[in-house]
Structure 1
Amino acid sequence: MQHTKGNILGLLTIFLWSTLALFTVYSGNIPPFELLSISFFIASLIGVLMLKKQKRSFASLKTIPLKAYIIGVSGLFGYHFFYFLAIKNAPAVEANLLNYLWPLLIVLFSALLPNEKLKWFHILGTILALIGAFLLVLKDGSLEFDTKYTLGYAFALAAALIWSSYSVISKTLTHVPTFAVTGFCIITAILSFIAHLIFEQSITPSITELLAAVMLGLGPVGGAFYLWDFALKNGDIKILGSLAYLAPLLSTLILVLVGVSKMTTSIALACLFIVLGSIISSKQYLKTIINLLFKS
């Protein structure tokens, strides 16, 4: 039951991540690290409410092992830090494509975990989804890996490696309760604010921009991390890694629906590859997933 619940919450996390682009668009001119500090502040409040609901004191965060804090903060802050550096130091298309290697890396790295087996359909499905992500990121633009952007590409690869490693290592930390993410978010909010002061010029956000930042904290850059932690520790990490490619797909479709982007042939092909890849990689659980969808 926990296994199925983990997979469902993992899918919900992916849906939340798909709103990232939409709320980022509406966040307007808020600098990246200022936006992160606001979002992770909201995420921290979610964790505090979680502690209260579980009748735990704030001091409960002191019981979390230092190792878990190092892994958690490295994952949350490290990923976003290198991702934003990548966007600043390389063309967005190429940086995003390299960043979208993280779901594939999750599937591959999961083979290193005890009692985990990588089967042919996991690899095939993830590769098809990666092709879809490639088409999605490319759209009608050009793709050229220029050596002058090597540093930016390195940052994007670092981001992909950090998030995939964090996700796979989290699978081994089943003894660490999900409320520990509260501590990770608090430290990440502080580090993001420090990075903002070092790298950026502060702005006063408008009401719309501030609401978008709050929504990011409630969803894709905040609340989603609690769900992802539970999903990783209880669900099937290979399935979750493959399904993660639905995030950029759904994100693009949401932008199309609200009129920010337009449907193109490459987006349609991306839909086909990502959905096909996700179905193939989830082959052994397909019947269970269909039953869950129709029963709910």
Structure 2
Amino acid sequence: MRDHDQFGAYAAGLGAVLAWSTVATAFKISLAHLSPAQLLFWANLVSLAVLLGILISQGRLLETRAALRQHWRRSLLLGAVNPFAYYLVLFQAYSLLPAQEAQAINYTWALTLTLLSVPVLKQRLRRRDALAALVCYLGVLAIATHGKLFSLHFGNPRGVMLALVSTLLWAGYWLANTRDNREPVIGLTLNFSCSLPLIALWCAWRGELTLPSWTGLAGAAYVGAFEMGFTFVLWLFALKRAHSAARIANLIFLSPLVSLLLIHWLLGEAILPSTLAGLGLILAGLLLQKLPAPRALAH
């Protein structure tokens, strides 16, 4: 039975990683038919429906209502960060940058989380973390300048800035979650419930609260289900069932490579050598950060 559980955990983890590998391509396809705000509104709506469906199937809807009464302030605050601010900024970055650049820069969020933990959680910054940051952001520089590091000529400075801001928002959201005592799936459902009126107001203010084409709706539905909703639950299942959460977490390193292949095959983007080199540096920096600290020598 244990072997069966482990197979299920790895299958769920791999399924989540493969789903996340498709979203950069889905973002670009959807943004050809929707504005960033429209994509966020319809994707949020679909994601909320998916999450509520999961909770209903588990018989936990009343539990969710009770949690909303108790935690509505936290849910509104976190929902304003994710999905509202985070995805609005991220989708805007994707609308300005090639998918290969936006998705590679987005992978630096784990390092941003470590750096933000120093002032927010009062954690100590190891020399290895500082070196990992240098390696990762050299990778970002290589991608943003198309390999011309010393020229500092950015292909799209605003897009790069927004992609980096999105990593700050995502890392800040997960730091706030360290103090969140809500059950994860219920907490995410409440965040999406509270963010939906904010997104609707934003779209209405910009004159974008309109019914898009079926193509745009299909893209938003895919993003809502496989980036924001069901895949998160699948990932939580994998982490909960696995003997080693770290091994499951390492599957995420497959995602950028699979994502680049899909970007090339489905979007027709020529993958630049600078993107491969920059992504290699980013992954090297993240791996360096994950290596265990050397043990002190015995006297």
Taking structure 1 as the reference length, the TM-score comes to: 0.69
Task: Provide closer, same or farther for how the CA distance between residues 100 and 183 of structure 1 changes in structure 2, counting only shifts above 3 A.
Answer: same
Tell me, in whole angstroms, the C-alpha distance in 1 between the residues paired with 2:44 and 2:252.
Answer: 21
Question: Which residue among 256, 259, 276 is the counterpart of 1:251?
Answer: 259
Question: Which residue among 105, 125, 132 is the counterpart of 2:132?
Answer: 125
Match of 1:289 in 2: none
Q: Alpha-carbon deviation of 1:229?
A: 8.0
Match of 1:56 in 2: 60
Q: Alpha-carbon deviation of 1:71?
A: 3.5
Query: Amino acid of the residue matched to residue 134 of structure 1?
Result: L
Tell me, in whole angstroms, the C-alpha distance in 2 between the residues paired with 1:259 and 1:84.
Answer: 16
Native 8 Å contact 2:29 2:219 kept in 1? yes
Question: Which residue among 196, 210, 225 is the counterpart of 1:218?
Answer: 225
Match of 2:5 in 1: none
Task: Provide closer, same or farther for how the CA distance between residues 12 and 144 of structure 1 changes in structure 2, counting only shifts above 3 A.
Answer: farther
Task: Provide closer, same or farther for how the CA distance between residues 231 and 198 of structure 1 changes in structure 2, counting only shifts above 3 A.
Answer: farther
Tell me, in whole angstroms, the C-alpha distance in 1 between the residues paired with 2:254 and 2:222.
Answer: 20
Question: Are 2:30 and 1:24 aligned?
Answer: no
Q: In structure 2, the residue corresponding to 1:261 is in which secondary structure?
A: coil
Query: Amino acid of the residue matched to residue 277 of structure 1?
Result: G
Query: Amino acid of the residue matched to residue 274 of structure 2?
Result: S
Match of 1:274 in 2: 282
Question: Are 2:43 and 1:39 aligned?
Answer: yes
- 1:136-176 Cα offsets, whole Å, 9 max, x none, are 34437996479xx89x9886665443322111121222x21
Question: Which residue among 197, 205, 219 is the counterpart of 1:198?
Answer: 205
Structure 1 portions without partners, runs of 5+: 286-296
Match of 1:162 in 2: 169
Match of 1:291 in 2: none
Q: Alpha-carbon deviation of 1:198?
A: 1.4
Superposition pairs for residues 153-192 of structure 1, below 5 Å?
Answer: 159-173=166-180, 175-178=181-184, 179-192=186-199
Task: Provide closer, same or farther for how the CA distance between residues 185 and 170 of structure 1 changes in structure 2, counting only shifts above 3 A.
Answer: same
Tell me, in whole angstroms, the C-alpha distance in 2 between the residues paired with 1:221 and 1:122.
Answer: 29
Over the aligned positions, Cα root-mean-square deviation in angstroms equals: 4.5
Structure 2 portions without partners, runs of 5+: 1-7, 294-299
Task: Provide closer, same or farther for how the CA distance between residues 114 and 29 of structure 1 changes in structure 2, counting only shifts above 3 A.
Answer: closer
Could you say which structure has the larger radius of gyration?
Answer: 2
Q: What number of residue pairs does the alignment pair up?
A: 273
Tell me, in whole angstroms, the C-alpha distance in 2 between the residues paired with 1:26 and 1:128.
Answer: 31
Match of 1:69 in 2: 75
Query: Amino acid of the residue matched to residue 272 of structure 2?
Result: T
* Greater mean alpha carbon deviation, residues 51-60 or residues 39-48: 51-60
Native 8 Å contact 1:181 1:225 kept in 2? no
Task: Provide closer, same or farther for how the CA distance between residues 68 and 275 of structure 1 changes in structure 2, counting only shifts above 3 A.
Answer: same
- 1:54-87 Cα offsets, whole Å, 9 max, x none, are 3212423424424421442122112234456678
